[in-house]
Amino acid sequence: MNAIEKYNARADAADSLVCVGLDSDVRKLPAALLKLDAPQLAFNRQIIDATAEYAAAFKFNMAFYEVNGADGWRQLAQSIVYLRERHPSILTIADAKRADIGNTSGAYARAIFDELGFDAVTLNPYLGRDALQPFLDYADKACIILGRTSNPGSAEIQNLKVNDQPLWQIVARKAADRWNANGNCMLVASGTNPKEMAQIRSIVGEMTLLVPGVGAQGGDIKALAKAGLNSAGRGLIINSSRGIIFADDPAEAASSLRKAVNRFR
């Protein structure tokens, strides 16, 4: 079972397309946890225990662990072990946005897939296929290419015209075709613009899309589902980070998002 098949199986078993984003910023953690030796690990365990029932994936934003140096990396690794031991069927995503020249990308790929054991990673396509290839060569892992992102400044580059097409459409086509020889590509597609989501779906066919912009960024779930679901009623990994993990009741927040999405599946 490769990573995409793993996600689909979990989505069916949990009746969920929800991804819980573990953006565990140590500055926002409860004061009581900051007294512990591993506050991020303790926080992640609490969130995993509370929300796993409703989750098809967990996404770890690498920045919030790397900023704490070796100790942050240790807590990241321990969090993944905790999740994998208790919920091995749930997809794990490293939100790392990696890519570099070949030998450097090879080292990044080994770190994320072999050392940490993630199922999937987000990748920056700006350097082209040779920078992505070391990740793409892991046929059992998922490579989630940045296509159309949800940050306000994304249009500065992503909307640049290439042969009368915005650059993000070119990236989507390459991710669905040229880069997808192993059938292990996914695409990041913003949840804040349903019209563009529909265009992406028409370009990439049945491909699974990682969708930021839901929750704290205000994406419209009904419009998103109508535009983005594939023919199997899946094809979306709908991420919410701050909207779940820093909610008063993370379990209720995750459950509510699952219900909201499933209403339109």
Amino acid residing at 111: A
Active site residue 141: no
CA distances from 32 to 26, 40, 65, 106 (A): 12, 12, 19, 40
pTM score of the predicted model = 0.96
Each residue of 233-265: pLDDT tens digit? 999 999 999 999 999 999 999 999 999 999 998
- Asked whether the beta carbons of 54 and 249 are under 8 A apart, the reply is no
Residue 155: what pLDDT?
A: 93
Each residue of 144-181: pLDDT tens digit? 999 999 899 999 999 999 999 999 999 999 999 999 99
Please say whether the dihedral angle defined by the alpha carbons of residues 74, 77, 80 and 86, taken in this order, is positive or negative: negative
Nearest to 117 by CA among 6, 250, 234: 6
Each residue of 27-54: pLDDT tens digit? 999 999 999 999 999 999 999 999 999 9
Q: Is the pLDDT of residue 216 over 60?
A: no
**CA atoms of 83 and 87, how far apart (whole Å):** 6
**Helix 194-204 with 221-228: angle, nearest 10 deg:** 20
Q: What is the mean pLDDT of residues 82-96?
A: 98
Using pLDDT thresholds of 50, 70 and 90, give the confidence band for residue 220: confident
Report the alpha-carbon angle 156-157-160, nearest 5.
95
The two tokens of residue 161 are 């015209």
Using pLDDT thresholds of 50, 70 and 90, give the confidence band for residue 215: low
Beta-strand relationship, 236-240 and 120-123: unpaired
**CA atoms of 249 and 26, how far apart (whole Å):** 19
Q: Which residue among the candidates 28, 35, 97, 259 is catalytic per the annotation?
A: 97
Please say whether the dihedral angle defined by the alpha carbons of residues 258, 193, 236 and 118, taken in this order, is positive or negative: negative
- Asked whether the beta carbons of 187 and 144 are under 8 A apart, the reply is yes
Q: Is the pLDDT of residue 73 over 60?
A: yes
